[in-house]
Amino acid sequence: MKMLVSLAIEHGFATSEDAIADMSLKDTMLTFDKAFIEFQKVHPTMTSSSHSLGVLYSRLPRRRRKQPEGLNASLHVWADGSDRMQVPDGWAFPNTTCRVMWPWWFLGSPDIQIGPYRRLRTMDFTTSESKDLLMQARMAMHELALVAVANQWAESEDAMEELAHDTLMDMFDKCYFILMHRNPKGNLAGPGRLERSTVHSLSIRTVAKAIRRARKLPINPPTKVFEWADGTRRQTPEDWRFPKEMTARELWARWFLGEPDTQVGPFRLVATLDVKDFDSRVYFSRAKFLLQDLVEIAKRKHFADSADAIAALPEDACMAVFDQTYHALFHDNPLGYGNIGGTAHGLLRPKRGPLYMWKTVRECIRKLKKLHQENAADDVQAAVAQDTHNSNDDHQQTRHMELE
């Protein structure tokens, strides 16, 4: 169709493609007939305009595909005679991390004469695995490149091919950090998302999957940023300390709503690497232990669907979920280690529930979990011992019968 439209305009049958679209059906078909006559002069094998588009296309002469500009000049001829040029016969697209892929994507692999990888196409591969990996890499690399352009570290994705290797890698580290932890479209790492401690070892496929998933999740509001003495921008002031002395209810409020006095948080969105004080990092980890259980109780009791859902609630509704969850923790705990409220040794007094510090509640849960695990292990050991005893009895009985 593009060829016919071009011929119609070239020979004065129409002034533009839009002009053809505005014609009546009769005038459109008349223009087509005139253009097809000119088309036949260029391509004599086209004997009739009544052929299907597929037949017409199949009769067009094939032009040798030119090597894309910027790729390695070496040709890669495959065993079947096809000239793919961009990859050697049998070469598989690598499944690696984003950091390893980044220089290959923009600079290529000179040692094997491939690249830049961003110019490869699915038609250069025969296996579905390599085709899929190329598409996953394209999504992840493009998302990182958008971060670079948005922060004015590069003029465009094309311009990044001209950068030196070290400059490119410095750019990657900054872009990857933003993609994971400071993403205006929604962080890839954090509660309910990728585990922060594993982001540097993730495969491209995992990162691409996280990008697609993040587009469907609610965007966490950006936390306030504080500049440290070294010029880095963090989620807490450099001298900030985790507030150790607070009730479980106060911790919940800071976890989902933030700390009003310092404007730090919500705590659930703060990365521990943005907390300088070592003891505060430890307390963050311990607080997370408690909050994970509370959120799980809320989900099992159908008070909330997820941590993200709780965070999206107005303050009053958010705190109402805590009150329901905290009551269940004491009196109707759906988790395996049982209720933490009671008069037995090691349990917490329900009447004092609202007054307990979060560390006390956490320690009670930790001990109950440990006791539950020990009891479960003892039950297994007892069952094994009983099974062994029964087996020995059966053996003795069988032996006695044989002797008789």
- Predicted confidence at residue 181, as pLDDT, reads 82
For range 149-169, the mean pLDDT: 93
Q: Which 8-state DSSP code applies to residue 1?
A: -
Helical (H) or strand (E) element with 45 = none
For range 385-397, the mean pLDDT: 57
- Predicted confidence at residue 378, as pLDDT, reads 55
- pLDDT tens digits along 30-66: 888 887 787 777 676 666 655 555 555 555 554 444 4
Which of the residue ranges 44-48, 55-59, 89-93, 243-247 has the most confident prediction, judged by mean pLDDT?
243-247
Q: Distances from the Cα of 307 to the Cαs of 91, 136, 165, 190, 294, in angstroms?
A: 44, 28, 41, 11, 10
Pairing of strands 226-227, 233-234: antiparallel
Amino acid at 185: K
CA distance 158 to 152: 14
91: which 2 tokens? 């070469």
CA distance 77 to 306: 54
- Model confidence at 78, in pLDDT bands (50, 70, 90)? confident
- pLDDT tens digits along 320-377: 999 999 999 999 999 989 999 999 998 999 999 999 999 999 999 999 999 988 876 5
- How many CA atoms lie within 13 Å of 265's alpha carbon, on the beta-carbon side? 21
- pLDDT tens digits along 177-187: 889 987 877 78
- pLDDT tens digits along 275-284: 999 999 999 9
Helical (H) or strand (E) element with 226 = strand 226-227
The answer to whether 326 and 295 are in contact (CB under 8 A) is: no
- pLDDT tens digits along 98-133: 999 999 999 998 888 887 999 998 888 889 999 999
Strand, coil or helix: 388: helix
pLDDT-wise least confident of 47-56, 120-129, 212-221, 248-257: 47-56
CB count, 10 Å around CB of 397? 10
The answer to whether 154 and 168 are in contact (CB under 8 A) is: no
Q: What pTM did the predictor assign? A: 0.50
- Model confidence at 221, in pLDDT bands (50, 70, 90)? low
Residue 156 burial (C-beta neighbours within 10 Å; 0-12, 13-18, 19+): exposed
For range 141-155, the mean pLDDT: 92
For range 225-246, the mean pLDDT: 90
Nearest CA-CA partner of 50 in 67, 29, 65: 29
CA dihedral (196, 200, 206, 209) positive or negative: positive
In the chain, the percentage of residues whose pLDDT exceeds 70 is: 80
Strand, coil or helix: 232: coil
Q: Distances from the Cα of 315 to the Cαs of 31, 291, 312, in angstroms?
A: 67, 17, 9
- Model confidence at 296, in pLDDT bands (50, 70, 90)? very high
- Predicted confidence at residue 67, as pLDDT, reads 43
- Model confidence at 400, in pLDDT bands (50, 70, 90)? low
pLDDT-wise least confident of 9-23, 184-198, 235-249, 295-309: 9-23
Phi, psi of 128 (to 5 degrees): -65, -30
For range 287-300, the mean pLDDT: 96
49: which 2 tokens? 């305009």
Tell me whether the omega of the peptide bond preceding residue 266 falls within 30 degrees of 0, making it cis: yes
347: which 2 tokens? 């349990």
**152: region left, alpha or beta (phi > 0 left; psi from -120 to 50 alpha):** left
- Predicted confidence at residue 64, as pLDDT, reads 43
381, pLDDT greater than 70: no
The answer to whether 254 and 223 are in contact (CB under 8 A) is: no
